Amino acid sequence: MIPEPTAAGVLAALRARGATLATAESLTGGMLAARLVDVPGASAVFRGGLVAYATDLKATLVGVESALLDRLGPVAGEVAAALAEGARQRCGADWGLGTTGVAGPDPQDGKPAGTVFIGVAGPGGAPAVRELHLTGDRPAIRAATVDAVLSLLAERLTAER
């Protein structure tokens, strides 16, 4: 089954495989989890989500290495990958999604608003990471990030068929 890059599409594909999903979100602040649980029957697949908005919670709640955060800051591809893997491990899921970035309007750590990193961790191989440069206001950047990480998961599920 090739999933549509939507919450309903990836949940259906995961359900067909008997697989589960978890999230670790920073800039999306729970929006990704909310999008998933808007789908009827999500509880058959979605185990839960962690919102680690503060940098220290990325380490203590999700398990991102403090040294990585100290070296790169919270907005980096490696952090998105670690968030995805941390969600997977902490929630006991087959797949994990991670989001981090700058929703704006102000830059953070020298990175302009719209700089976003998303990660997808699965049962095999290294996490997939994508860097995005989005435009728009905070709500638009956050919504586009949710769309992008669901699309990346759909791509990974298609590749793993």
Convert 47-66 to b/e letters by CB count within 10 Å (16 or more is b).
bebbbbeebeebbeebbbee
The whole-number pLDDT of residue 125 equals 82
φ/ψ of 98, rounded to 5, equals -135, 140
The pLDDT score that the predictor gives to residue 68 is 98
What pLDDT score was predicted for residue 3? 81
- For residue 84, pLDDT over 70 is answered with yes
pLDDT of residue 124: 84
The answer on pLDDT for 83 being more than 60 is yes
Q: Tell me which DSSP letter residue 47 carries.
A: E
Q: Return d(Cα 160, Cα 2) in angstroms, integer.
A: 10
pLDDT for the residue numbered 161: 67
pTM across the whole model: 0.97
What percent of the chain is predicted at pLDDT more than 90?
94
Q: In CATH, what class is 7-159?
A: alpha beta
- pLDDT in the model for residue 37: 98
Q: How confident is the model at residue 81 (pLDDT cuts 50, 70, 90)?
A: very high
Strand ranges across the sheet with 21-25: 46-51, 21-25, 95-101, 115-121, 128-133
71 pLDDT above the threshold of 70: yes
pLDDT at 160: 81
Domain ranges for the chain? 7-159
What's the pLDDT tens digit per position in 106-158?
999 899 999 999 999 999 889 999 999 999 999 999 999 999 999 999 999 99
Q: What is the mean pLDDT of the chain?
A: 96
Please check the confidence at residue 79 and state whether its pLDDT lies above 60.
Answer: yes
